[in-house]
Amino acid sequence: MKYRFTVMFLIVLCGMISIAAFNPIIGPLSRNLGLSELQSGCLVSVAGLCWLLGGYFWEKQTFMSRKKMLASIMFVYLITLVVFALLADYAADHWQGSSGLFWIFFLLRAVAGFFFGGIPAKAQSYVMGWTTQETRTKGMALFGAANGLGFVLGPAMSGGMASIGLTAPMYAVAIMLALMMILLGLLIKDEPEQKTIRSAKASSLSPLDGRIRLYLWTGLMLSFALNIVQVTIGFYVQDNLGYDARQATQLIGLGLALSGVMVVLSQIVISKLKWKSDHVLRVGLLFVVLGLLGLVAFIRYAYVDFLLLGIGIGFTLLGYSAGASLAVRDEEQRSVASYIAALQGGGSFLGPVTGTALYTANIAAPYSFCVLLICVTGLFSLRRKTVRVPSDLSQ
């Protein structure tokens, strides 16, 4: 049984790495291709919007077995990544600054986002089908961990491969997804989609429900801020430090790798502290603000800023996801997991175009705006009344 969950965890993790790895390279890559900051933001935002639409669409489809459908979705998504990377490599030497180039990239990112949305949707379908009322919370927690961790590791991997080439991460994640397709084919049994739908009884739960509203808002704001940072940081480092595209991407990659390490370490620390989710959430938001302020005021100490951001992300991720899960009944866990999974798609849609638009107005504006949003969210969390749920994160 455990190996099936491991395979699904890896599929979601690799999928999230692949979608997030695009963010740090789009700034330097767009400048190499003669695209504007706003155009680069649109390329990320359209993928985020189509991710949301695709997740809703693919979750409802039953025209083939779920294994074949997941494999087909992964294959089409993989092809869009490879085609985008090949076209970017060609355009860097032969086709810079063309409006036609932007629209081809735009279409590829839209298709990629639409098919990517099916990966977490179908993975969640598997997890719901494999778990019972008693084990569903743990299954959904595993699903959420893959989402959150992938969104941090993707940019770290992307920057780390900058010395090879700006499109190298896209080829790497395509290989990873191909390996996941092999694991899916070898280790997961084919089953009719209808079985999952019958076995997954979910209670209707509104995202505006008072028990989870603040947690979901916090998750959306964190995803929004992270997407703004990831999409604009390449421009910001180049413009402030005078680095070329490869130097900027290497710095960002190492910085995001440090953030990823701190995300993991901070969650280990949290498990030892056994704090309540609201306490974890507030500490996380504080560190996110410190990291963002550091980027504005002390960019030459960027690695320290990334360390602070990593601590904040780790605490905040666990705080809002655990808080939302612990605040609802077992039969409502699927709805909560769906909402939490959608947060990153929402942030990927709203953040990039907002961040690049703000950046064109003032290079510090995106980070100052994020600080304001996170501070407002923190104030709301301080005013929130405690909900009577299981007492700590260890339960």
Which pLDDT tens digit goes with each residue over 190-238?
Answer: 766 554 444 444 457 888 898 999 999 999 999 999 889 988 988 899 8
How far is Cα 89 from Cα 45, in angstroms, rounded to an integer? Answer: 22
The two tokens of residue 101 are 């180039």
How far is Cα 74 from Cα 58, in angstroms, rounded to an integer? Answer: 12
How far is Cα 301 from Cα 351, in angstroms, rounded to an integer? Answer: 24
| Residue pair 340/216 in contact by the 8 Å Cβ criterion | yes
Each residue's pLDDT tens digit in the chain (395 positions)?
Answer: 578 888 999 999 999 999 888 877 888 888 888 888 889 889 999 999 999 899 888 877 878 888 999 999 999 999 999 999 999 999 887 776 677 889 999 999 999 999 999 998 888 778 777 776 566 656 666 776 787 678 778 877 887 787 788 899 999 999 999 999 999 999 998 766 554 444 444 457 888 898 999 999 999 999 999 889 988 988 899 899 888 877 887 788 788 778 878 887 887 788 787 788 889 999 999 999 999 999 999 988 999 999 999 999 889 988 888 888 788 887 777 677 778 777 878 888 899 999 999 999 999 999 999 999 999 999 988 876 554 444 444 44
| Residue pair 152/259 in contact by the 8 Å Cβ criterion | yes
SS3 breakdown of the chain: % helix, strand, coil, rounded to 5? 80, 0, 20
- Tell me the three state secondary structure of residue 351: helix
The two tokens of residue 195 are 């079985």
Of 206, 219, 207, 151, the C-alpha closest to 377 is: 219
H/E run at residue 104: helix 99-116
Q: How many CA atoms lie within 13 Å of 343's alpha carbon, on the beta-carbon side?
A: 30
Which amino acid, 246? R
Domains of the chain, first to last: 2-383 (1.20.1250.20)
- Tell me the three state secondary structure of residue 105: helix
Instruction: Mention every residue, 6+ apart, whose C-beta is less than 8 A from residue 239.
Output: 363
Q: How many CB atoms lie within 10 A of CB 57?
A: 15
